């Protein structure tokens, strides 16, 4: 992230998220995704109470000019593909799963995009995403905080990490 980006409200929020991820032991790096600077944070944890599985948690965050439902939906799909392609190790579903927080931040946010992110966790085989929409003009973080039927065993972990990484600025 360059100095000009960091001075904007979305840039300052991404710097905050990077600090939170690093403080929690995630490895972080910045990547260029088609001309957009993207923060990628990653960690993996094994817990017996998760039916003896290892969960690879990805947080992928970017500032964009405007957030709409199609924008956050497409970004969520892209993050899931990225996580599957870069996870490594055992195949997904073989005592290993993927969790992801695709996060977009902007000062122009369609309220429908916030509602979309808050409505539900998105699930595919052994892959769960909780999209996060941040309206930096209102300092509002929209994300699903419930306990879904599929992936319920991981719900408290997602809620804990979501609160730690995205709230408090």
Q: How many domains does the chain have?
A: 1
Which run of H or of E encompasses 53?
A: strand 53-63
The three-class DSSP label of residue 110 is coil
Contact yes or no for 42/58 (Cβ under 8 A): yes
Segment 24-43 mean pLDDT? 95
Its domain, for residue 64, covers: 3-166
User: Does position 65 have pLDDT exceeding 80, yes or no?
Assistant: yes
- The backbone torsions φ and ψ at residue 101, rounded to the nearest 5 degrees and listed phi first, read -110, 95
Coil, helix or strand at residue 129: strand
Query: Greater confidence, 127 or 51?
Result: 127
Among the ranges 14-18, 40-44, 93-97, which has the highest mean pLDDT value?
14-18
Residue 14 has pLDDT above 80, yes or no: yes
With a cut of 50, say whether residue 3 has pLDDT above it.
Answer: no
| Chain segment 91-124, per-residue pLDDT in tens | 554 566 789 999 999 999 999 999 999 998 787 7
* 159 Cβ contact partners less than 8 Å away, ≥ 6 residues apart: 145
């Amino acid at each position: 992230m360059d100095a000009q980006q960091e001075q904007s409200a979305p840039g300052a929020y991404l710097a905050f998220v990077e600090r939170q991820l690093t403080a929690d032991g995630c490895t972080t790096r910045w990547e260029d995704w088609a001309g957009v600077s993207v923060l990628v944070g990653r960690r993996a944890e094994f817990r017996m109470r998760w039916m003896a599985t290892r969960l690879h948690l990805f947080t992928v965050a970017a500032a964009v000019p405007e957030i709409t439902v199609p924008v956050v939906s497409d970004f969520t799909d892209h993050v899931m593909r990225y996580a599957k392609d870069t996870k490594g190790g055992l195949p997904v579903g073989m005592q290993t799963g993927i969790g992801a927080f695709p996060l977009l931040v902007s000062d122009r946010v369609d309220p429908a995009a916030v509602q979309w992110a808050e409505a539900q966790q998105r699930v595919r085989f052994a892959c769960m995403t909780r999209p996060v929409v941040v309206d930096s003009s209102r300092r509002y973080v929209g994300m699903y905080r419930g306990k879904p039927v599929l992936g319920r065993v991981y719900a408290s972990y997602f809620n804990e990490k979501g609160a730690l990484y995205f709230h408090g600025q």
